[in-house]
């Protein structure tokens, strides 16, 4: 006997990037290099003395305090979770659900709408401008006003376009809405401004960040929210007890000691991004002006799926975005190491002939 899954989930696909065994993996916007050896040594040292038989600090007090100090906010304005995806899930568990709605500007990070649907939250979709899918305050004001959503999702820099949203766009979303404005800053280190400066207890801005990208810790699964204290209390209410294990809490704390190395990593990624953009500009592809660690592009000729396959055949994996809203024939490449980027450019040049 089988039990039927919830009818609204019945036909829903999971969200998965292909995990293919290749030499050059440029499909999930990870850091091309691991964290500093000193960090790994310090974490190994922690593991040898950790009290594995005890539950972790349920509130991750030290980690929250360190993240708060790093951003110049209060510890009670910080919530940490297993990757920023779990932060998003907790936000939707606490503020979404039946009779609530979330507004997304497509194309954007698919998990905003995906987790909304899983939590029974109605998804309202607005489209961006034609010019590279930018947003502007007038468009945002109109869309938010028409939808009156419980949650507005912004993403800056936006995955998959790589473009940064302006403070005016955030202001427009806030002014037009009565709900939360969630700014996903998974790639925030690439932006000159952060919506964290707009978080305050009397307002409704929530910023979501992650250790998965520029901190080079995707495998550790650690993300956080900076938000008004009332929002943090709601997130704490829906998170599972002890959801952050002791190793993860220690890793987050230790990682923050290596911020100079993280900033250096960002600088070298930006430099390599320039080299990839120059390489792509010489090829028959249209590309988006990225300000993140990935670049969206559309081959001008040929079928993007067969180009993706040819890249895989050359042991280079990029993201096939062609089924995402508005992104037919689009591929997205993550900035890798210099050698990986050269492999990608050479393989793409061959695939396009
Ligand atoms: C915009 C955005 N938000 C959140 C995430 C999820 O990151 P995490 O690994 O912290 O769950 C990603 C990962 O690709 C992303 O692109």
**Which pLDDT tens digit goes with each residue over 95-128?**
999 999 999 999 999 999 999 999 999 999 999 9
In the reported structure, the alpha carbon of residue 51 is separated from the centroid of ligand 1 by a whole-number distance in angstroms of: 30
Whether the predicted pLDDT of 13 surpasses 80: no
Instruction: Summarize pLDDT for 66-81 with one digit per residue, the tens.
Output: 999 999 999 999 999 9
Is residue 277 a contact partner of residue 295, using CB atoms and an 8 Å limit? yes
Q: Which of 25, 29, 80, 84 to mutate to test the pocket of ligand 1 (most atoms within 8 A of CB)?
A: 84
Half-sphere exposure of residue 304: CA atoms within 13 angstroms, side-chain side = 19
| Ligand 1 centroid, distance to 179 Cα (angstroms) | 22
Q: Are 39 and 216 in contact (CB under 8 A)?
A: no
- Percent of the chain residues topping a pLDDT of 90: 92
Query: Nearest-CA neighbor of 29 among 206, 289, 292?
Result: 292
Q: How confident is the model at residue 11 (pLDDT cuts 50, 70, 90)?
A: low
State how far the alpha carbon of 45 is from the alpha carbons of 40, 49, 56, 81, in Å. 9, 7, 17, 23
Q: Which residue has the higher pLDDT, 17 or 9?
A: 9
The reply to whether ligand 1 has any atom less than 6 angstroms from the CB of 84 is yes
pTM of the shown model? 0.96
Atom of ligand 1 minimally distant from the CA of 85: 11
Residue range 77-91: average pLDDT?
Answer: 98
Q: What is the mean pLDDT of residues 234-256?
A: 98
Contact, 24 vs 340, CB < 8 A? yes
Per-residue pLDDT reduced to its tens digit, 158-170: 999 999 999 999 9
Cα–Cα distance measured from residue 67 to residue 78, given in angstroms and rounded to the nearest whole number: 7
DSSP string covering 262-277: HHHHHHHHHHHHHHHH
Under the banding of pLDDT at 50, 70 and 90, the label for residue 2 is confident
Q: Render 312-333 in DSSP notation, one character per residue.
A: HHTTEEEEE-TTSTT-TT-EEE
24-35+260-351 CATH? 3.90.1150.10
Distance of CA 180 from the midpoint of ligand 1 (Å): 19
Cα 29 to middle of ligand 1, angstroms: 9
Least confidently predicted of 12-26, 53-67, 129-143, 248-262: 12-26
Structural domain spans, the chain: 24-35+260-351, 37-258
Ligand 1 atom at shortest distance from the alpha carbon of 211? 10
State which of 210, 217, 293 you would mutate to test the pocket of ligand 1, scoring each by most atoms of that ligand within 8 A of its C-beta: 210
Q: Which one of 19, 25, 109, 158 would you pick to mutate in the ligand 1 pocket, going by the greatest count of ligand atoms within 8 A of its CB?
A: 109
Q: Residue 89 has what pLDDT?
A: 98
Would you call 47 helix, strand, or coil by DSSP? helix
Give the Å distance between the CA of 2 and the centre of ligand 1. Answer: 34
Q: Is the CB of 159 under 6 A from ligand 1?
A: yes
The CATH number corresponding to 37-258 among 1.10.3720.10, 3.40.640.10, 3.40.50.11540, 3.40.50.1980 equals 3.40.640.10
Q: Do 190 and 291 contact (CB within 8 A), yes or no? A: yes
């Amino acid at each position: 006997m089988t039990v039927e899954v919830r009818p609204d989930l019945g036909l829903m696909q999971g969200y998965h990037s292909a995990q293919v065994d290749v030499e050059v993996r440029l499909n999930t916007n990870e850091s091309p290099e691991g964290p500093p050896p000193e960090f790994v040594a310090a974490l190994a040292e922690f593991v040898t003395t950790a009290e594995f038989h005890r539950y972790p600090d349920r509130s991750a007090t030290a980690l929250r305090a360190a993240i708060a100090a790093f951003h110049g906010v209060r510890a009670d304005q910080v919530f940490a979770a297993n990757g920023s995806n779990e932060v998003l899930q907790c936000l939707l568990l606490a503020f979404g659900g039946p009779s609530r709605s979330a507004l997304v500007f497509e194309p954007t990070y698919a998990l905003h709408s995906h987790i909304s649907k899983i939590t029974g939250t109605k998804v309202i979709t607005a489209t961006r401008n034609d010019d590279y899918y930018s947003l502007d305050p007038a468009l945002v004001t109109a869309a938010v006003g028409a939808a009156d959503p419980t949650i507005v999702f912004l993403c800056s820099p936006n995955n998959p376009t790589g473009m940064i949203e302006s403070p005016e766009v955030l202001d427009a979303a806030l002014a037009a809405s009565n709900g939360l404005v969630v700014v996903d800053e998974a790639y925030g280190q690439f932006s000159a401004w952060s919506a964290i400066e707009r978080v305050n207890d009397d307002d409704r801005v929530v910023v979501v960040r992650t250790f998965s990208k520029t901190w080079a810790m995707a495998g550790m699964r650690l993300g956080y929210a900076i938000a008004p204290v009332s929002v943090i209390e709601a997130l704490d209410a829906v998170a599972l007890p002890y959801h952050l294990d002791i190793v993860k809490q220690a890793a987050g704390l230790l990682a923050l000691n290596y911020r100079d190395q993280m900033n250096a990593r960002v600088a070298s990624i930006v430099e390599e991004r320039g080299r990839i953009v120059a390489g792509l500009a010489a090829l028959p592809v249209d590309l988006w002006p990225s300000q993140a660690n990935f670049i969206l592009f559309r081959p001008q000729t040929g079928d993007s799926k067969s180009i993706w396959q040819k890249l895989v055949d050359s042991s280079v994996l990029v993201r096939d975005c062609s089924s995402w809203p508005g992104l037919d024939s689009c591929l997205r490449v993550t900035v890798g190491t210099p050698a990986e980027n050269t492999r990608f450019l050479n393989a793409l040049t061959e695939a396009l002939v």
